[in-house]
Amino acid sequence: MKSHARVVVIGGGVVGVSTLYHLAHKGWSDVVLVERSELTAGSTWHAAGLLPLFNMSYTVGQLHKYSVDLYKRLQAETGQDVSFHATGNLRLATSRDRLDEYQKYCGTANTIGVPFEIIGPAEVKKLWPLLDLGGADDTAEVIAALYHPQDGHIAPADLTMALRKGARAKRAEIYEQTEVTAVARTPSGEWKLTTTKGEITCEHVVCATGNYARQTGRMFGLSVPAIPVEHQYIVYEESRELKAYRQGGGRELAVMREPDQSYYIREERMGWILGPYEAGAPARFADGVPSWFGKNLFDGDLERLVPHVEGAQRRVPALANCGIKDIVNGPISYTPDGTALIGPAWGLPNVWLNEGHSFGITAAGGAGWQLAEWIVEGEPGIDMLAADPRRFGAYAGKRYVVTKNEETYRNVFTVHYPDEERPDGRPAKTSPVYEKLKRMGAVFGQRYGWERANWFAPAGVAAKDDWSFRRTNWFEHVGNECRRLRERVGVIDLTPFTKHLVRGPGAEAWLDSLVANKVPAKIGRMALSHALTKRGGIRSEFTITKLGEEFFYVVSAGAAERYDSDLLAKRLPRDGSVSLQNITTARGCFVVAGPRSRDVLAKLTDTKLDNESFPWLTGQETEVGLASDVYLLRVNFVGSLGWELHFPIEYANHLFEAIFAAGEEFGIGMAGMRAMESLRMEKSYRMWGSDLTRENTPFEASLDRFVRMKKGEFTGRAALERQLAAGIPNRFVTLDVHGVKDADPLGNEPLFDAKGKMIGRATSGYYGHVLKKSLAIGYVKPEFAEVGTKIAIEILGERKDATVLVDSPYDPENKDLRA
């Protein structure tokens, strides 16, 4: 074995080999893969080989599309047959919600160029003659189906071998029977891996160890939130009916899924493979894979599968006449949200994860492609936030991951509602006023482990979500919360915000080099600032307030805690001139907003709150009620007069009560995240993570006023200069969507010109309760960005007219904010 390589990939499953292949194809030939056993010995060898293009995520959808395209050309490239059967994929719909889900998906598929069709029952029957369309008592009627004509299934081991051939052709090396047993940093900053075949030093390490992700992580001091769950499929004997159909000239049947019965079925040697996603499948190996488990399987548990088998037999009666040949029950890696972990590890330089793959055969191509790009170029080519390992934080410990993974597994086929909030592993992280909010009717959701009130059910209304793709039970109540914040005064608990303190003589210059805006020079000033990628895309959004000499308070999205902390820590100067402190859980945050917010706060503080003493976009350290050391910031994400109170966490209950007592005469009340969503849309406030991503620069996001090209060097500046010279390719718009009855845009809808040509994509959407308009925001080609331009948007399969509105259609001059 070599003693040095530029990259060592640990793990020879399909994902590791794909990463190696892509690194080599990007021109890094000094790359090595080590595998403890033999290639494919993990989960890869026993996978069913399905390649579903279907995925609700914009990011994952792109990865899957890339994979399918790559796999189709691999045989020609490498000479290795991969048994790609482009049978197509058919997903049945037996309810309106299911069809809504498909239509929602189709919007995303459109924006990433995945071919699909929604077909009716007659076409379903034509494609799949052995299927019963149902309608009788015990079998739901097929009302439509989503059909992907171009995907299908592949032989996972052959695929891995083709990728191996392709990687070796570019001089990458693979060592089997070579287990990594320990890791250490060298004094020069490289990684030294101890293996069963000797030591190897490298610049970068990629962990692609499937079921071993936990123990691999432990070697690096990481708690990796990936734990496998049992997954089974049944292999059937030959089917008389299938044989007759095929011998009669029928083409190979599409891989078929009946999500409402939670199974997939495909042909296998004139018989079938049936794979249910059942309740009760246990997580395995939470503490690591035991040494007795090699290229093994678990015993089959048919009992768990019976309801799904019965459902499948009703849909495909031929199944009932077939004997069972085998049950394959293997570990399948999962993460709490079901998406893999692809990207940098937190806190460590040059350690990369490609772990937690539950659809790893499908995802391997795309995951290897983007990770290689990230390693070689320093940036992924697409927005990878949804797969970034740093989207989870320390809260995703063993028990949380076990319970969430089991929940995610049994929900693979349930309808994925846009506002769905699953119950397991909750409540975990709560604000100190959680119980108070609960008593006030809060209906909670969970983000980054935090319980956040989404809306408040008034007395007599059930505090429960009725999920839908359309307006549903909370619509009216969210509307009332919105009006409260525009007409009177309301409170939002934003305790989960990510909060850092940055101090020291080098603080200002360092922050300035990190973001595109000018960091405030005057004490009390605040600046909305964006950390960009080298390509000029928006990586992070920070509200930076200068609270004292050499002292900055840096706030960012709650879900970005590890993601932003990692950026700040990795970029911190090593000369001791700047200190960084993550105080996320040491401070709570309440937003007090609405025209009467000043009256409320004036009762609690001596700090003068008039415009002259406390202008918009400034902050002061002050006392509020009995709480000292409160950072009072005149800013908010709803666009009404208001302040954010960032207070030492121990004052949460006191301040909450004091604010409500002071606000009673003004009709104060709570508002939740859904009201905030509606209100921020009315102000065209872009949300980090959905509207602001690596995919777009601040110029495309029309955030020009937050970019100071002349201030000196900052990350992304050169790319912005190039974009200015070449022309801005997209522009941010706010849209008034006409003719909406009950399905508002929610983001990921395609946008079209009058001739039906796609011209952009909505990144968010919601009903603006105060403007009484259905709103979308997103990006279009610049020629469509003029106010008044008429375009179209597709919502759940229906084209709607839309008009480009002025930026910030509610109070465009910010009179409320400056009131």
Ligand X SMILES: Cc1cc2nc3c(=O)[nH]c(=O)nc-3n(C[C@H](O)[C@H](O)[C@H](O)COP(=O)(O)OP(=O)(O)OC[C@H]3O[C@@H](n4cnc5c(N)ncnc54)[C@H](O)[C@@H]3O)c2cc1C
Q: Which residues bind ligand X (CB under 6 A)?
A: 10-16, 34-37, 41-44, 46-50, 179-180, 208-212, 216, 231, 233, 328, 330-333, 357-362
- C-beta of 14 vs 93, nearer to ligand X: 14
**DSSP collapsed to 3 states, 266-308:** EEECCEEEEEECCCCCCECCCCCCCCCCCCCCCCCCHHHHHHH
Can you read off the two tokens belonging to residue 129?
Answer: 């003659």
Nearest alpha carbon to residue 671 among 598, 594, 588, 780: 594
Nearest alpha carbon to residue 393 among 450, 448, 353, 451: 448
The CB-of-230 to ligand X minimum distance in angstroms stands at 8
* Separation of alpha carbons 380 and 352, rounded Å: 12
- C-beta of 178 vs 454, nearer to ligand X: 178
- C-beta of 134 vs 228, nearer to ligand X: 228
- C-beta of 282 vs 782, nearer to ligand X: 282
The CB-of-15 to ligand X minimum distance in angstroms stands at 3
* Separation of alpha carbons 68 and 60, rounded Å: 12
**Are the C-beta atoms of residues 764 and 681 closer than 8 Å to each other?**
yes
* Separation of alpha carbons 619 and 625, rounded Å: 17
Burial track 248-264 (b if 16+ CB lie within 10 A, e otherwise): eeeeebbbbbbbbbbbb
- C-beta of 210 vs 336, nearer to ligand X: 210
- C-beta of 103 vs 339, nearer to ligand X: 339
The CB-of-605 to ligand X minimum distance in angstroms stands at 55
The CB-of-702 to ligand X minimum distance in angstroms stands at 39
Query: Which whole-number Å values give the CA distances from 179 to 157, 176, 183, 199, in the listed order?
Result: 20, 8, 11, 11
Total residue length of the chain: 819
Backbone dihedral angles phi then psi of residue 395, each to the nearest 5 degrees: -60, -25
* Separation of alpha carbons 627 and 588, rounded Å: 12
The CB-of-195 to ligand X minimum distance in angstroms stands at 7
The CB-of-600 to ligand X minimum distance in angstroms stands at 53
**Are the C-beta atoms of residues 304 and 313 closer than 8 Å to each other?**
no
Bridge partners, 342 (sequence order): 354
DSSP 796: T
Burial track 753-790 (b if 16+ CB lie within 10 A, e otherwise): beeeebbbbbbbbbbbbbbebbbbbbbbeeebbeeebe
The CB-of-744 to ligand X minimum distance in angstroms stands at 33
The CB-of-409 to ligand X minimum distance in angstroms stands at 11
* Separation of alpha carbons 206 and 227, rounded Å: 18
The CB-of-266 to ligand X minimum distance in angstroms stands at 9
**Are the C-beta atoms of residues 130 and 242 closer than 8 Å to each other?**
yes
- C-beta of 279 vs 428, nearer to ligand X: 279
Bridge partners, 527 (sequence order): 544
The CB-of-11 to ligand X minimum distance in angstroms stands at 3
- C-beta of 106 vs 174, nearer to ligand X: 174
- C-beta of 12 vs 768, nearer to ligand X: 12
- C-beta of 371 vs 554, nearer to ligand X: 371
The CB-of-355 to ligand X minimum distance in angstroms stands at 7
- C-beta of 289 vs 792, nearer to ligand X: 289
Residue 721: in which H helix or E strand, if any?
helix 717-726
The CB-of-727 to ligand X minimum distance in angstroms stands at 40
- C-beta of 147 vs 334, nearer to ligand X: 334
How many CA atoms within 13 Å lie on the side-chain side of 420? 14
The CB-of-449 to ligand X minimum distance in angstroms stands at 25
**Are the C-beta atoms of residues 635 and 553 closer than 8 Å to each other?**
no
- C-beta of 13 vs 504, nearer to ligand X: 13
SS3 for 718?
helix
**Are the C-beta atoms of residues 751 and 781 closer than 8 Å to each other?**
no
**DSSP collapsed to 3 states, 486-544:** HHCCEEEECCCCEEEEEECCCHHHHHHHHECCCCCCCCCEEEEEEEECCCCCEEEEEEE
- C-beta of 14 vs 795, nearer to ligand X: 14
Backbone dihedral angles phi then psi of residue 450, each to the nearest 5 degrees: -85, 140
The CB-of-201 to ligand X minimum distance in angstroms stands at 16
**Other Cβ atoms closer than 10 A to 359:** 21
- C-beta of 357 vs 646, nearer to ligand X: 357
The CB-of-38 to ligand X minimum distance in angstroms stands at 8
Q: Is the bond preceding 427 in cis, omega lying within 30 degrees of 0?
A: yes
**Are the C-beta atoms of residues 7 and 23 closer than 8 Å to each other?**
yes
Pairing of strands 490-493, 498-503: unpaired
